[in-house]
Structure 1
C-alpha cells in the first residue's frame, strides 16, 4: 500500500505540495503527458493494460529496469510496493511458450486458459517422471480456510474504507501505469475483487480521451460496472491527448457529444459531474438535458470556465422551454465559475429550481439581483461565491445576505470585486452588512470594497470565528494591527478581557506598498509578524508589495517569514519548524491551503484546472 501523493501533476494543473510551508504549490504549465519520452508501443500498453478509473494510489518513482534483490522473486509490476511472486523452478518466461505457428497471428488474449488451449502443455509444466517429492504440508490446527482471512471477514463497509486509502483524486504523470495496487487486489480473492471494484469505479477521473474510450468500452461491455460510478471527473482532462492534433482527436471520436451522452446513460447512479473549459464543446444540448433532467441522483454539477459559443447555445437551448425542466432539480452543489458567456436568463430559470442548494459558485458571471433573490427559501447555502459579478446591485446583495432564509448559515462567502470595473460595496453598504453576517462564517472575502478605519470595530467580532479574511481598499497598517492585539489606549481591564482572534489568513492585496508601510511592518513595534499574532500564518499581498519583498529576503529570514507565489498571487508565509496544523478543514472540501477563490463541489484533493482557478487566479 502506498500513501505518498507528492509530485503528481496534470495538464495545466495547480496542486498543493504537502509536507512543507503553507501555500506551496506544484504547477504544470504544459501537458505532463508530453514530457515522458516513451515509445508508441509503451504508450498504448500503458493506456490499455489497466482499468480506466485513475483512482489508484501513487507508486514510488523506481527505475523500470531495476533488478529484483536476490531471493525477493520477480515483481508483477516493478512500480508496485505489493508482494512479489516467485516462479516455479522450470519457468522459462512467457516468451518461451511454444505456440503453433498457424495460430500465433490470431492470438490476442494473454490469459492462462487461452494459452493453454492453444498447446498441449507449457514448458514449465512438470511431467510425472520429473515430479519432485514435495514435503507434505499439514494444515495447522485453527488455520483459516481460503477466503476466510480476518481481513476478508471484515464488514464490507469497513473493508471498502480500508481499500479506499489506495485511491487518489489526482491522476499519475504521463502514461505511467495506473491503479497498480488496486489491480493487484482484484486478483487476491472473490471478496477483495468485489470490494476493490467498488473503489475503482466509484470515482472515475478522465485525464485524456483514450482513457474515456477505454472506460466507455468497459461499462458498455459490463453495464453493471456503470451502476457503481458515482463521480465523473474531467477536471484533469488533457486536451493535447499525447501530442495528437485537433483534427486527429476529432477523427478518433473518443470523446465527442455522442459518446459522452452514451456514457451518462450507462451511469444512472451518477452523483457528481465535474467538467471544465477543455470539454465545453462536448457539452451538447442532449448532454446538458441529461445532466439536468435524467439523472435523479445527481447532487454536484461543476462547469468551471465553460464559455464557448457552442456551450452557450446548448445551455440556452435546454432552458428555452422551461416547462420541460423539472420543477425541482436534485442538484445541491452548483458551480458555474467563470462561465462568462451564459446570459442572465440562465440564472433566472435555473436557480428557482434548486430547493436544496448548499454550494453556489457564480463568480464572474451575469447573474442578476433578481436571480439571486429567486433562490428558494428552503435552500441552505453554506458556500456562496459572488466575486466579480458586475450585474449585481450592492444593496440587493446586502438585503439577500441579511434577510433571505437561505443565507443564514454561510461558512464561505466571497464578495471580492475589481474596483476598476465595478464597485459593489461602498462604505455605507459595508457598514450595514458586517453586523448581519452569521456566526457560522469561516471565510470572508471583501476585496475591492471601500473600507476605512470605522469598519475595523465591525470586523473585530467576526475575527473571533473567521479564519480567512480578505480586506478592502484604503486601510492602513495600524488598522490591520487592531485586528490582532488590543489597543494600548484601552483601559487595562478591557485589554485583559480581550478575546484572541482566530485569523490564519488575511488578504491585503488591495493595499499599496505605501499603505502597508513595509518599514513599519518589519519594525520591532509591529505585532503582525510576531508570535503574538498567531495563529496568523499567511498574508496575501499585491504585485507592487511583492516587488519590494523580493529584495528583502534577509529581512524576511530574520523575522521568520518567506514569500510564496502562484500565478498572479503572492503570499507572505510564516516559517515553522514543524507543522502542527496542515490547514485542512471540512468546509474546504479537500483543500488544505488558504485563500481559495473557487468553491469546490466535490470532496477531492486540489489539482487539475480546479487548482488553477482556486489558487492561481
Structure 2
C-alpha cells in the first residue's frame, strides 16, 4: 500500500524533530551529526522520502563554520527548486576562530563575507522568515545587508543581532537606519517584522534605537536587554505596539525607575486596555549595586501591571535586583484590579496566578517567607498558582543546611527547579556521589501517616558547561526532567545484529524557564503551529505541504506575500453625535455613503488604511465624531467565514483524492486507504489541532486539570502550551545567550 505523501510527511517530521532535539554529542556539531543520521535513514528510500527530506532539511539552516556556509550557498546556486523551502538562517553557533585560524585568515578565504552573505539573502528573499545573527558575523554585516533586513518588502519576521557591539557594526547599523528615513520621516513602515533582538548591542545610540522602533509598529517580541536606551526614547519613540507580548529591558543602565514607571503607567504599548495582547514575558532585571529602585517603586510597578491586565497573562517575570518589602501583616483587601497587601511576595502570590517562572535574584528572603510563598493558599477565591521555576541566587538565607530542608522543596506541588548560588549548590553536590536530595511525601493528608507507602521525590544538581556560572537544583520525573541525563548518551549500545542504537538524550525541560533572553524564533523543534502562525502571521497558510487549497498537487509550498498594511484590530466604525447617541456604521449595505444607517445595522470592518466614510451633514450647533470602536465584535468572519483547517482536512472529496495522489503525479495508482470522516471541530484530536490551546483540553470549567488523561499525554499538552510563550532552548550559542549570566 502506498501511503499518501501527507502521512509520510508527518511521520518523517516526528522523526526529524526527535533527532534534532537530541542533546548528544555535546559539541557544536551535534546539529549536523543528528542530521546525517536522519538523512542516511530516509533519503534513499524512494522519491517521496527524498522530496520530504529536502523540505525538512532546507527549512532550518544552521551554520557552524564559514566553510559550511559557502558549501550550502553553492548548493543553493545549483538547486533553485529548494529555495522556497528555506525559512531560517541561524548563525548563532558560527565561530570565526577554529582549527588554528584567526578571523583575519577567514576573511582572506572568502567563504563568509558581505558579498556571499548578500548573495544568500538575494536567493532566499522570497521565503526567508528568520535571520539570527551573532557577534561572530557582525563584521560581515555591511550597510546594504542591514538595510535589506530592516526595510519593508520582504517576508522576514524575526531579526536578531544578538551580541553585536563593535564600533564598525554600530556605525554601519546607524547608517542603515538612516536610509529608512527621508527628512526625519519614515519612508515606509515594516508591518512584517514581529520579533526584534538587540540583546547586548551596547554601542548603538539610543536615538538610533528610537528611529528604528518607530518603523516597526507590529512588534510582538522586543529584546532591548543591555542596550543604551534611555527614558526619552522609551517613552517618546517606542510606537504603540498593540500586539506586544514579550519585552526585555534588563540591565539597561540608562533607564531610571521614574522612566520605567511612566512607561508602564501611560505608554499605550502596555497601558492601553484595547490592545490585542497583553504581556506574557517580562524581564526588568537590574544590577543591585548600581540601581536606585526602592521597594515602594516596585510595588507601584506591580500594581500598574495588574491595572492593565498583564498579571492575568504573565508567565515569566524577572525582577532580579529590585528590593522587596517584607511585612508580617498579610491581610489582603480586594480592589478593582488586584488584591492589595503590604508584603511584595504575598502580592505577587495573590495577583500573578499564571506565573511559571519568577526571578527574585539578589534578595535576602527568609526561609519562612519562601515557604509561605510556595505553599498553596487556603480558603482563597483565587486559583492555585503553578510556579515551576524560582531564581533565588545570592540569598544569604540559602545555605547547605536550609536548602536541604524537605519542607522547603515540597511546599509547592508544581515547582520543578530552583536556581541557587554556587556555595549551597556545591555543598549538595558534594554531600553524596549522586548529587541529589531524597525525601518521601505522602499523598494522604492525615495526622498519622505511613511513610513506607509514600512516594519518593528526588532533587538533583545540574550544571551546563555552556551556560556560564549558573547552578540548578531540579526535581526529577519520568518524562521531562530525567535523573539519568549525566550518564545517558556517553555509552554506545548495539543490537544483536551489530547495528548502533541511537539514544535520544534531551536536555532538561526546566531550562526553558531559566531564560534571560527572549527566544525570538520558532526553533527547529516545533512543538505546535501556534507559535509559528503568531510569529510569521500567514494570512492563509496551507494545511498541507503538497496539496493546494483548490485540491490540486502543489509544485512548491505556498508563500504568503509580505504585509503592506497593519493588522486590523477587531471592531467597527461608530458614530457619536452631540446628543450622546451612538450608531454603528454599515459600510457595505448603505447605497449612499452620506446617509447614516439605523443603529441596528451590522457594522462591517474596513482596513484602517481606508478613509473614513463621510459623515451626515450636521446642524451648525452639533459636532459628530466617527471612530473605530474595538468593543464591537468582528463581524467580517461571520459575514465571510474563512475555511478552517479542520474543515479542509475533513473534506471527503479531498480525502479520496489524497488517498490516490502520489507526490510527482496526479493520475497514479489507487489505494485502498480511506480516511474516516470526522465532523469539523469534534473529537479530542481535532480540538488540539484547531485551537492549539491547553485550556479547553485538559481543564474543566473551574480551571482544574482533568484526571482522565494519561500522565505522559497531559505533560505533552502542557509543554505544547508553554512552547508558545517560552519557545525552545535547543543548542549552541543561541542557548548560551539565553542562559548565560
Please, what TM-score do these two structures have when normalized by structure 2?
0.56
Give the length in aligned residue pairs.
451
Aligned mates of 2:54, 2:376 — CA distance in 1:
57
Please tell me whether residue 371 in structure 1 is matched to residue 223 in structure 2. no
SS in 1 for 2:52: helix
Q: Alpha-carbon deviation of 1:173?
A: 4.2
Q: Report if aligned partners of 2:470, 2:740 keep a CA contact under 8 Å in 1.
A: no
Aligned mates of 2:32, 2:313 — CA distance in 1:
44
Aligned mates of 1:522, 1:162 — CA distance in 2:
40
Q: Report if aligned partners of 1:447, 1:510 keep a CA contact under 8 Å in 2.
A: no
Q: Alpha-carbon deviation of 1:352?
A: 1.3
Aligned mates of 2:226, 2:380 — CA distance in 1:
44
Partner of 1:599: 518
Per-residue Cα deviation, 1:363-407 (whole angstroms, up to 9, x for no partner): 111112233233322431111111101111222223323443433
Per-residue Cα deviation, 1:462-488 (whole angstroms, up to 9, x for no partner): 45321111115243222222212369x
Q: Alpha-carbon deviation of 1:223?
A: 3.0
Aligned mates of 1:477, 1:202 — CA distance in 2:
49
For residues 139-158 of structure 1, what are the structure 2 equivalents within 5 Å? 149-152=2-5, 154=6, 158=10
Partner of 1:397: 260
Please tell me whether residue 320 in structure 1 is matched to residue 178 in structure 2. yes
SS in 2 for 1:413: strand
For residues 411-450 of structure 1, what are the structure 2 equivalents within 5 Å? 411-423=280-292, 425-437=293-305, 438=310, 439-450=312-323
SS in 2 for 1:350: helix
Q: Alpha-carbon deviation of 1:432?
A: 0.7
Q: Report if aligned partners of 1:450, 1:474 keep a CA contact under 8 Å in 2.
A: no
Q: Report if aligned partners of 2:417, 2:510 keep a CA contact under 8 Å in 1.
A: no
Q: Report if aligned partners of 2:198, 2:224 keep a CA contact under 8 Å in 1.
A: yes
SS in 2 for 1:506: strand
Q: CA RMSD in A?
A: 3.2
Per-residue Cα deviation, 1:52-82 (whole angstroms, up to 9, x for no partner): xxxxxxxxxxxxxxxxxxxxxxxxxxxxxxx
Please tell me whether residue 539 in structure 1 is matched to residue 423 in structure 2. no
Aligned mates of 1:166, 1:371 — CA distance in 2:
44
After superposition, the Cα gap between the structure-2 partners of 1:399 and 1:600, relative to the gap in structure 1 and judged at 3 Å, is same
Partner of 1:122: none
Please tell me whether residue 280 in structure 1 is matched to residue 176 in structure 2. no
Per-residue Cα deviation, 1:572-610 (whole angstroms, up to 9, x for no partner): 52443523678xxxxxxx985431111111122521111
Partner of 2:505: none
Q: Report if aligned partners of 2:261, 2:301 keep a CA contact under 8 Å in 1.
A: yes
Aligned mates of 1:163, 1:545 — CA distance in 2:
40
Q: Report if aligned partners of 2:69, 2:112 keep a CA contact under 8 Å in 1.
A: yes
SS in 1 for 2:514: coil
Aligned mates of 2:518, 2:164 — CA distance in 1:
15
Please tell me whether residue 482 in structure 1 is matched to residue 362 in structure 2. no
Partner of 2:437: 557
Aligned mates of 2:105, 2:81 — CA distance in 1:
32
Partner of 1:355: 217
Aligned mates of 1:296, 1:235 — CA distance in 2:
22
Match among 443, 463, 466 for residue 355 of structure 2: 466
After superposition, the Cα gap between the structure-2 partners of 1:421 and 1:378, relative to the gap in structure 1 and judged at 3 Å, is closer
Partner of 2:490: none
Please tell me whether residue 502 in structure 1 is matched to residue 370 in structure 2. no
Q: Report if aligned partners of 1:444, 1:468 keep a CA contact under 8 Å in 2.
A: yes
Further displaced range: 253-262 or 563-572 = 563-572
For residues 164-243 of structure 1, what are the structure 2 equivalents within 5 Å? 164-165=16-17, 168=20, 172-173=29-30, 178-182=35-39, 185-243=42-100
Aligned mates of 1:192, 1:176 — CA distance in 2:
20
Q: Report if aligned partners of 2:376, 2:412 keep a CA contact under 8 Å in 1.
A: no
SS in 2 for 1:509: coil
Please, what TM-score do these two structures have when normalized by structure 1?
0.66
Q: Alpha-carbon deviation of 1:461?
A: 1.9
Q: Alpha-carbon deviation of 1:547?
A: 5.2
Please tell me whether residue 579 in structure 1 is matched to residue 458 in structure 2. no
Partner of 1:298: 156
Q: Report if aligned partners of 2:360, 2:392 keep a CA contact under 8 Å in 1.
A: yes
For structure 1, the 5+ residue unaligned runs are 1-143, 488-493, 583-589
After superposition, the Cα gap between the structure-2 partners of 1:483 and 1:292, relative to the gap in structure 1 and judged at 3 Å, is same
After superposition, the Cα gap between the structure-2 partners of 1:248 and 1:568, relative to the gap in structure 1 and judged at 3 Å, is closer
Per-residue Cα deviation, 1:494-551 (whole angstroms, up to 9, x for no partner): 5577853311111111422xx3365445457xx3222x32211212122454455555
SS in 1 for 2:437: helix
Q: Report if aligned partners of 2:134, 2:163 keep a CA contact under 8 Å in 1.
A: yes
Q: Report if aligned partners of 1:561, 1:572 keep a CA contact under 8 Å in 2.
A: no
Partner of 1:90: none
After superposition, the Cα gap between the structure-2 partners of 1:166 and 1:467, relative to the gap in structure 1 and judged at 3 Å, is closer
Q: Alpha-carbon deviation of 1:318?
A: 1.0
Aligned mates of 1:372, 1:447 — CA distance in 2:
21
SS in 2 for 1:432: helix
Aligned mates of 1:419, 1:220 — CA distance in 2:
52
After superposition, the Cα gap between the structure-2 partners of 1:595 and 1:474, relative to the gap in structure 1 and judged at 3 Å, is same
SS in 1 for 2:222: strand
Partner of 2:739: 615
Aligned mates of 2:31, 2:13 — CA distance in 1:
28
After superposition, the Cα gap between the structure-2 partners of 1:174 and 1:303, relative to the gap in structure 1 and judged at 3 Å, is closer
For structure 2, the 5+ residue unaligned runs are 271-276, 327-342, 440-457, 483-508, 524-728
Aligned mates of 2:226, 2:354 — CA distance in 1:
28
Q: Report if aligned partners of 1:272, 1:602 keep a CA contact under 8 Å in 2.
A: yes
Q: Alpha-carbon deviation of 1:202?
A: 1.4
RCO higher in structure (CA 8 A, sep ≥6): 1
Q: Alpha-carbon deviation of 1:257?
A: 0.8
Match among 129, 134, 159 for residue 271 of structure 1: 129
Q: Report if aligned partners of 1:303, 1:339 keep a CA contact under 8 Å in 2.
A: yes
Q: Report if aligned partners of 2:462, 2:474 keep a CA contact under 8 Å in 1.
A: no
Aligned mates of 2:67, 2:404 — CA distance in 1:
54
Q: Report if aligned partners of 1:538, 1:571 keep a CA contact under 8 Å in 2.
A: no
Partner of 1:94: none
SS in 2 for 1:181: helix
Partner of 1:382: 245
Q: Alpha-carbon deviation of 1:174?
A: 9.8
SS in 1 for 2:160: strand
